[in-house]
Amino acid sequence: MSYDTKTGSFERMKSLNQSTVLNMIRLREPISRAEIAKLTKLTPPTVSSLVSELIEKNLITEEQSISSKAGGRKPILLRINYTAHYIIGVYAAAEVIRVILTTMDGKIVFDFSEDITELPSKNEFVIMVIECIQHVLNNTPIKKELILGIGFAMHGLVDPDKGLAIFSPHLHLENIPIKDSLEKEFDIPVIVENDVRALAKAESWFGQGQGVSDFISLSVGRGIGSGIYINNEIYKSSFNTAGEIGHTILDVNGPKCQCGNNGCLEAYASESAILNRVRAEVKNHSDSILHEWLKDGKDELDLKMVFKAAREDDFFAKLVLEEAGQSLGLAAANMINILKPAKLIVEGSIFEAGDFVLAPLKKSIEKYTFKSSNEDISVVCSNLGKTGMVLGAVTLVLQKMFKTDEI
């Protein structure tokens, strides 16, 4: 089962009605033909015909209901056959390329990662990605023709329509033809999206965003980005660049950001900013555990060390993390005031080591958001973690298959 790479519609999805039925089964399974007809407003004969086609394609299975209504015949219930086809998801960050193979419900059946140890050229990067995908194909028994597509989550500015990575700041690369290169190599359709927008899609399907029509996904790593979900749709803007919260300005006289401006959120609260601040100021905190660990010119510092010091009640470490949380909360509060989402979902390793960052973030949001008494905006940690990025890549393909408005 494949879809036309020019139109984006599945060749074997002959109608929107068939997609509607398939998606209804996914959302309500197990479900009978009669229930599908009632919910979709399609006629029973139409539903029966569409279901027969889907069964022929091995996309759905039948099972006998364990109960019946009013003592009548037990209805036949339908489920998706999630192992009928597979999806490849790729996540490319500055430090790693991760490739997974999943079933149609996002279950990972193979997972492979390769570290990026030196900044590659554009051609070297594409070759690395191809080799990673080929490794997955070579080490799984899944036939290539059963793979629906390749979803690609890329950090930085992305043009999903052209499948182009416009600018990857941490790799220092521009205009990488991801879609064209991979489709030429593998003859499998490819969908490309920004990594944090892909994460938001994964949250909507598999994570904390399930059943939530309006939410913001805030991701903090070497950079900071956000995915904005409004009315059950990801917001991209006319330029496919929405969500760059990391480059909102907190102080025009603040520290220099890698983008060239001063005072960006990334320069205050990204993983790199936290480590840079510790290195720059630790000499002024001789009573800090970090000062002892980094004395004699040692530069071996990572976030785990900062969190370890904070857990040991190190004042300097706690101060740096608290102020990073305050900065994140201030930026998030501004977004909340404008968009009024029902939920803020935060993701990143800085949220996984206690409340050193999360607590001041929540406090800043509470302080700086303007809301009425009936507004309840929850702040939660992602339960997908970094897997959310690559699972978001998979979701790009799943949406093409199941969402009728995107077929």
- pLDDT per position as a tens digit, 89-131: 999 998 999 999 999 999 999 999 999 999 999 999 999 999 9
pLDDT digits (tens, 9 = 90+) for 181-225: 999 999 999 999 999 999 999 999 999 999 999 999 999 999 999
- 11 domain-assigned: no
The predicted model scores a pTM of 0.89
| 170 shares its domain with 291 | no
- 10 domain-assigned: no
Confidence of residue 71 (pLDDT cuts 50, 70, 90): low
φ, ψ for residue 35, nearest 5 deg? -65, -40
| 190 shares its domain with 219 | no
| 400 shares its domain with 293 | no
| 168 shares its domain with 186 | yes
Confidence of residue 19 (pLDDT cuts 50, 70, 90): confident
pLDDT of residue 302: 92
Q: Where are the beta strands (DSSP E) in 3-75?
A: 31-32, 60-64
| pLDDT above 80: residue 298 | no
| 241 shares its domain with 351 | yes
| 71 shares its domain with 92 | no
| 108 shares its domain with 220 | no
- Alpha helices by DSSP H, 71-177: 122-138
Alpha-carbon distance 159 to 115, whole Å? Answer: 25
- 1 domain-assigned: no
Q: Could you tell me the CATH number of the domain that includes residue 332? A: 3.30.420.40
Q: What integer is the mean pLDDT of 334-345?
A: 95
| pLDDT above 60: residue 275 | yes
pLDDT of residue 68: 61
Q: Count the domains in the chain.
A: 3
3 state SS of 310: helix
Sign of the alpha-carbon torsion through 131, 136, 142, 145: negative
pLDDT of residue 258: 84
| 98 shares its domain with 197 | yes
Which of 380, 356, 38, 329 has the alpha carbon at shortest distance from 217?
380
3 state SS of 40: helix
Q: What integer is the mean pLDDT of 279-304?
A: 89
- 51 domain-assigned: yes
Supply the mean pLDDT for the chain: 90
| 230 shares its domain with 344 | yes
Domain that holds residue 30: 16-80
Q: Could you tell me the CATH number of the domain that includes residue 25? A: 1.10.10.10
CB burial class (10 A; 0-12, 13-18, 19+) of residue 392?
A: buried
Confidence of residue 33 (pLDDT cuts 50, 70, 90): very high
